Every structure is written in C-alpha cells, then in structure tokens.
Amino acid sequence: MIRKLTTSAVDAGTPLAAWLSSRLGVSEEEARRRVEAGSVYLDGRRAHDPGTVLRAGQRLAVHQAAEASAASWRVAFEDAEVLAIDKPEGLPVTAERAGGRALDVEVAARWPGATLLHRIDRDTSGLVLFARGGVARKRLHAALETGRIHRFYAAVVAGAPERDDLRLDATIGPDPADPRRMRAGVSGGKPALSLVHVERRAADRALLTVELVTGRTHQIRVHLAAAGHPILGDRIYGGPPAPRLLLHARRLTWPGGRAESPLPEEMSQL
C-alpha cells in the first residue's frame, strides 16, 4: 500500500521522521526506520535522511508494510544475516519512479534495515541477495568484490554454440548510438567476464548456464548477443520473439550459504 501526503505551511521546519510519526501514527523510531529502509519518497526522490527539514507544499509517498504482504516474490533463503529473494520478471529491483513497486522497498518494509547487495534487470527473474544489518552488509560486500559470491543464470538463446564451454570477456560500455543499450568491445568499456556452459541443444536454440564473474549493466545479454546467440525475448539486443526475456538468476552461493530457484515453466517448455 502506498500513502500519498503533502506538507502544509504549519509543517515547515519539522524534521521528516517527526512529521511522519505524527501523520502515520507510528513511533518516531519506526518512522526513522522507514526512511532509512528507502520506503519514503520526497518530491519524487527517495529520502535517505530522517532529519531532513520539510518545507510547505512538498509531496511524500510512503510505501507501507501492507504492500509487502501482497508481494509476488518468495523467500528462497533466510538467516540472521542474509536474505535471498526470488523475484518475478517485470518487478524492478529498485524504484523507477515514485509510487511504483520495487523489490528493495517491499523487502525493507518486511525486514527493516535489509539492504540490496546487487541488481538484476527488471525483465530478468530469479535470485537477488540482501544483507541484514551493517556487519553483514560489509562482510557480503567484501565477498562480492573479491569474487566469493557466485551468480549463475539460465538463458535460452538463439542458435546452439559449437563448443560446450565459452569464455566471453569483451569489455562493455555504453552504446554511443543508443542510450538504452550497452555494447561489447566499445572504446573505454569496462572489463567483463561471463563463463558459459551449454546445458541442452536444439536445432535453433540452446539452454545455457552463465556464471556472471563481473557485474556490468546488461552483461550477459550483451555478451551473448555479441557472440551471435541473443537471448530469446530480448528486444533490445535482437533476440527472437518470446513471451518474456528468457533470462533467470538460478543459483547464488556465498560464504556460508547458497540458494536456488527453479527454472520458470516458460523457459523449460522452450
């Protein structure tokens, strides 16, 4: 549930958390937690500081915990430090505009203080990792930066690679011709590495497992398209038509844990 509010002249000069406390009927500590969890938007932008001093005529959108109860995601793993959330395709990981659904907002509404560790595209389904608390966040960020968190994706692609295993390491950067796209091998691109294994072959398509070693924007989609095997349903990078983008974050492993997500039916059928 999203509650929309507007400040008046009498509210000017009031700290955000104190104002939310009185308007929502919650404690000031609870209001502060909601702001820090990213559940509050101020004039269309996510608020981060509970002490922000308000002005008259400002617009607020508050994502309340009731929204999470109707969420279409599931918990694939949970302990005191880590959450692995299985996200459906079509749900953005972070908010794209004030008032829209976003996985990180819904997760933080249910587990205050939970923070996102990495992202997947809106149209990609599957596993996303969250840290619970500052100590866990530092530990897991360090593991991510040193390659101790392993991310495996399933992709259905056009054509069948000749070899069972591929190492795709073209650099990736923005496409100068199209701001929506990234491009492999572009001048000034960042190093990127995807490790590909062919699971199944058919005459005109293949099911791949791809380990994402680095984490560049659209990395798997760009690397596979550049290799001549675009993902089915990928309208940006030339994939053949399909009911959706057939890319799924299937398995995550990290120091002390792992999570898996079953292959979506529309992918297994193809």
Neighbours of 123 (CB within 10 A): 18
Say if residue 155's pLDDT is above 90.
Answer: yes
Give the CA distances from residue 252 to residues 129, 164, 244, 269, in Å, rounded to whole numbers and listed in that order: 8, 22, 22, 23
Active-site residue, 121 included = yes
Which superfamily, per CATH, for 69-145? Pseudouridine synthase (3.30.2350.10)
Percent of the chain past pLDDT 70, that is, above it, reads 94
Tens digits of residue pLDDT in 74-120: 999 999 999 999 999 988 998 765 456 889 989 998 898 899 999 99
82 by DSSP, 3-state: which? strand
Q: Which residue do the tokens 């299985």 mark?
A: 86
- The single residue of 11, 79, 104, 121 carrying the catalytic annotation is 121
Radius of gyration, CA atoms only, the chain: 21
Assess if CATH 3.30.2350.10 describes domain 150-269.
Answer: yes
Q: Are residues 92 and 105 in contact, defined by beta-carbon separation less than 8 angstroms?
A: no
Equal fold, 2-63 vs 150-269: no
Q: What angle do CA 82, 265, 181 make, to 5 degrees?
A: 70
Q: Where are the domains of the chain?
A: 2-63, 69-145, 150-269
Which residue stretches of 60-132 are H helix? Answer: 66-69, 103-110
Helix, strand and coil percent figures for the chain, each rounded to 5: 20, 35, 45
pLDDT confidence of residue 57: 94
pLDDT confidence of residue 2: 73
